[in-house]
């Protein structure tokens, strides 16, 4: 298994494009993206748990209820949420691009991201679907990735080559996510393509299993968005025997999928709105996996921990505090905490109490832009990882005038 170039276009039979259609005022920003499979594809998706859901999610869920899709279209700049005609707009978007691609509207995944509660005019989309579809190409992953960005500051894409049954398979993904990100599925928009042959049932099983330890373990600001979706298309162009049950081939696919999703988790958390640091919280020695997850999420979501990391302050007491109120089953007298970065690792707490450490060394470690918070417990053998970011002045500035 190795990292390769190409994003969502790395797998055989996938093309992509992204254009500026006019939803966003800034003409230098792409705001409409398209991913297309030249062959019929299995499809699976997971969606936000927020009770307020964007209209595109309702339409997509209906469209891929048969386990298949050919295209993904996504606009940025407007979430198409809480709009009286939202379903109509999302359905019309599917029909418009389906006409251009000569496929059924029910084979289209539709997504939107941006401001909530603002009417979405279909005209910019209608006027641009021809150029969007006409510009589909094998090098279009970057353009598509740009087309789904909102407050993101960096592109998020990755592709991986892996082997199944002697056949080279590829999997690629693009993502957007910077704010309104909290571990409650899905927490962002992620579009994944693969040329591996796998049934829609097994594709759904793989995705649902994976997100529990990846996308559900990411938090930027504690807010779960209304439009979050992770969608996977698998067109089988690699020529491997179709995966229809668990076994060696399914495990190989799961490993590739997890490698891709963990990379995107790190990219999303590291590009949190206003963030200057990626935070990775590793919990080991927990009673069980559920308690490990509760503790990791509590620490990564703590505003006090996040601000301490912004200030490069080794305030380990805030970590103990977050563990204590998490509700997890834990013996606090066994807790050990250390901070780690490219500059080294320093122990700051052992057996639930502070230890002597160099504040200067701790500062040096915490000044790096990727920080690992290691939490070692004495309750069992379970471990997990959560991802987040620091909380900065810039986060407040971005969200203080996000709509206006």
- Cite the active site residues: 187
**CA nearest neighbour of 74 among 5, 134, 25, 128:** 128
Nearest in space to 9 (alpha carbons), one of 207, 173, 252: 173
What's the CA gap between 88 and 105, in Å, rounded?
Answer: 13
d(CA 54, CA 114): 11
What does DSSP assign to residue 169?
E
* Stretch (H or E) spanning 98: helix 86-101
User: In this structure, are residues 235 and 119 in contact, taking their beta carbons and an 8 Å threshold?
Assistant: no
Burial, 102: exposed, middle or buried (Cβ in 10 Å; 0-12, 13-18, 19+)?
A: exposed
DSSP 175-193: EE-SSS--SSS--SEEEEE
DSSP string, 264-293: HHHHHHHT-TT---EEEEEEEEESSHHHHH
Alpha-carbon separation of residue 167 from 161, 163, 238 (angstroms): 10, 6, 7
Question: How far is the CA of 230 from the CAs of 110, 174, 207, 243, 251, in angstroms?
Answer: 12, 10, 9, 21, 20
Neighbours of 353 (CB within 10 A): 10
Mapped to the 3 state alphabet, what secondary structure does 349-401 carry? EECCEECCCCHHHHHHHHCCCEEEEEEECCCCCEEEEEEEECCCHHHHHHHHC
Count CB-CB contacts under 10 A for residue 139: 13
Q: What is the DSSP letter of 198?
A: B
d(CA 122, CA 35): 19
What counts of helices (H) and strands (E) characterise the chain?
A: 12, 15
CA atoms within 13 A on the CB side of 364: 10
């Amino acid at each position: 298994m190795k990292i390769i170039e190409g994003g969502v276009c790395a797998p055989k039979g996938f093309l992509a494009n992204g254009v500026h259609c006019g939803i966003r005022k800034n003409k230098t920003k792409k705001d409409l993206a398209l991913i297309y499979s030249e062959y019929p594809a299995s499809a699976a998706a997971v969606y936000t748990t927020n009770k307020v859901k964007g209209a595109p999610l309702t339409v997509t869920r209906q469209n891929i209820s048969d386990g298949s899709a050919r295209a993904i279209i996504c606009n940025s700049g407007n979430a198409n949420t809480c709009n009286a005609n939202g379903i109509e707009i999302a359905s019309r978007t599917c029909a418009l691009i389906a006409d251009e691609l000569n496929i059924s509207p029910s084979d289209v995944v539709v997504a939107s991201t941006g401001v909530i509660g603002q009417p979405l005019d279909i005209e910019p989309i209608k006027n641009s679907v021809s150029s969007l579809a006409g510009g589909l190409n094998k090098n279009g992953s970057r353009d598509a990735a740009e087309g789904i960005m909102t407050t993101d500051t960096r592109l998020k894409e990755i592709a991986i080559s892996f082997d199944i049954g002697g056949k080279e398979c590829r999997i690629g993904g693009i993502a957007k996510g910077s704010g309104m990100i909290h571990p409650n599925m899905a927490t962002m928009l992620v579009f994944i393509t693969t040329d591996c042959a796998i049934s829609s049932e097994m594709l759904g099983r793989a995705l649902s299993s994976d997100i529990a330890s990846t996308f559900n373990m990411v938090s930027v600001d504690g807010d779960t968005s209304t439009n979050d979706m992770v969608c996977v298309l698998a067109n089988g162009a690699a020529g491997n025997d179709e995966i229809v049950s668990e076994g060696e081939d399914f495990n190989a696919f799961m490993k590739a999928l997890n490698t891709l999703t963990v990379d995107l988790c790190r990219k999303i958390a590291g590009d949190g709105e206003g963030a200057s640091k990626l935070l990775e919280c590793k919990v080991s020695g927990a009673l069980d996996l559920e308690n490990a997850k509760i503790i990791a999420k509590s620490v990564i979501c703590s505003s006090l921990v996040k601000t301490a990391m912004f200030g490069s302050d080794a305030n380990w007491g805030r970590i103990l505090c977050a563990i204590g109120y998490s509700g997890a089953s834990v013996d606090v007298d066994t807790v050990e905490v250390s901070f780690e970065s490219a500059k080294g690792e320093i122990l700051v707490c052992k057996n639930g109490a502070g230890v002597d450490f160099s504040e200067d060394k701790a500062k040096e470690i915490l000044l790096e832009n990727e920080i690992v918070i290691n939490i070692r417990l004495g309750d069992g053998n379970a471990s997990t990882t959560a991802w987040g970011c620091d909380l900065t002045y810039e986060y407040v500035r971005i969200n203080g005038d996000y709509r206006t």
